[in-house]
Amino acid sequence: MTRGPASSAPTRKRWPAGWVITALALGGFGIGTTEFVAMGLLPNIASDLHISEPTAGHLISAYALGVVVGAPVIAALAARVPRRTLLIALMVAFTVGNGLSVIAPNYPTLMAARFLAGLPHGAYFGVAALVAAHLAAPGRRAQAVGQVMMGLSVANVVGVPAATWIGQALSWRWALGIVVLLGVITVAALIVTVPDLHGMKTTDPRTELGALRRSQVLLTLLVGLVGFGGMFAFYTYLNTALTSVGGISEGVVPIALMLFGAGMVAGNVVGGRLADRSVDLGIAVGMAATAVALGAFALLLGIGWLAVALTFFVGLTGSTAIPGLQTRLMDVSHDAQTVAAALNHSALNVANALGAWLGGVTIAAGMSYRAPSAVGVVLPLAGLAVFGVTLLAARRSAVLRAQ
């Protein structure tokens, strides 16, 4: 019997797309855990490093700045890197950044480490969304993107509460150590499950940066930047709103936070299915429903148990538009998909800062803790208005091209 020539490279086992997307979502779970757990451990960090709590709060800003800077820069500079290699490298960088945070001896070092840990955040989600869409079955592209983003939502239900408990019981360093472990597991899962992705073309930095010259990309980013500020205004002051106005005990707050996270998980599922029917419909419904949910929370906050239940619906509606926005950015960016997809997470981090700032302004002006959610109603409605302008601009461009 004769044998054919031996292959020059080993054949990689082909894993089902569902396993690959699960590995991608695991990375999102780790990223979501490290992003939000620091908020609950600020007193512990401040005490350990002998700094004030407001000073420790700058660590959150350092991470967010890393996300905003890293998303477009890494996505552009790594445009020629094969997508599988880039995914693994980004998760390694994320793990190293968190490892440096664990061993940081002082505040300046920890600030630098948190910035480094944030750098791969947006680029990872952008590339992961592109890979998930590439592997998805026909008609299920947005759902695959939503499943990747679900890792971020599940982190709010499981990862953040668990890591916060560990951080409070042992040390904040142990909490970040758990994130490092999640990063190592994710790197291994990506190496094992993600195929070579030969069908995904690489580009070049100039092409990727061309996304910044496309009006539809910029307008879609503005939709997310403005529209999601309301949810973050609500979330930033949720603890005090529930206890001071809702009259519930602090022991119930973690339940409200878990309900919010569970709502985000459901919202990614609903938003993915809506966007697979119509990307534009998914975005519009998500923005409008968020305004309704925030308005209901502001009006009914005085009824504590009902306000706690409404946190689930704010989480659900607030995340419904995310799969549609991510998918739309991939569509309108054409050959600059990596930067456009990554920039979505830069926009969401700016929305986080915007919402928290506007909520703080209302409280500083002497208003009650209903005010951040009431202001939050305006932001998704403004995002919906920007989206209307975006659609009109797209139709006008289509008409001009047809002439």
Fold matches, 13-202 and 205-403 = yes
Give the gyration radius of the chain's Cα atoms: 21
Report how far apart, in Å, the C-alpha atoms of 29 and of each of 35, 191, 265, 389 are.
Answer: 10, 17, 12, 34
What per-residue confidence (pLDDT) applies to 5?
45
Instruction: Give dist(CA 157, CA 177) in Å, integer.
Output: 19
Q: How confident is the model at residue 117, as a pLDDT?
A: 92
Q: Could you give the CA distance from residue 77 to residue 206 in angstroms, rounded to a whole number?
A: 9
Predicted local distance difference test score (pLDDT) of residue 8: 45
Query: In 3D, which of 159, 160, 158, 128 has the Cα closest to residue 146?
Result: 128
Q: What are the extents of the domains in the chain?
A: 13-202, 205-403
Three-state DSSP class for residue 8: coil
Residue type, 129: A
Give me the amino acid identity at 387. Answer: F
Specify the length of the chain in residues.
403
Q: How much is the pLDDT for 381?
A: 95
Contacts from 14-21 at CB under 8 Å and sequence distance 24+? 14/195, 15/192, 15/193, 15/195, 17/135, 17/136, 17/137, 17/144, 19/193, 20/131, 20/132, 20/135, 20/193, 20/194, 20/195, 21/132, 21/135, 21/144, 21/147, 21/148
* CATH number of 205-403, picked from 3.40.190.10, 1.20.1250.20, 3.40.50.300, 1.10.10.10: 1.20.1250.20
Q: What is the mean pLDDT of each run of 10 residues along the chain (403 residues)?
A: 44 71 89 79 82 75 84 82 88 94 92 92 85 79 79 80 81 90 93 79 72 84 90 81 84 82 88 88 93 94 90 92 87 78 82 82 84 90 94 83 69
pLDDT at 285: 93
CATH tag, 13-202: 1.20.1250.20
For residue 113 the two structure tokens come to 């480490």
Kindly write down the DSSP assignment for every residue of 213-260, as one continuous string.
Answer: G-HHHHHHHHHHHHHTHHHHHHHHTHHHIIIIIS---GGGHHHHHHHH
pLDDT at 199: 66
Q: Helices in 237-370 by DSSP H: which ranges?
A: 238-240, 253-277, 279-300, 304-320, 322-332, 337-364
pLDDT at 7 (0 to 100): 42
CB 387 within 8 A of CB 315: no
User: pLDDT value at position 379?
Assistant: 94
Do 364 and 239 meet the contact criterion of CB atoms below 8 Å apart? no
How far is 296 from 242, CA to CA, in rounded Å?
14
Nearest of 279, 327, 36, 289 to residue 153 by alpha carbon = 36
Please say whether the beta carbons of 340 and 119 come within 8 A: no
pLDDT at 102: 92
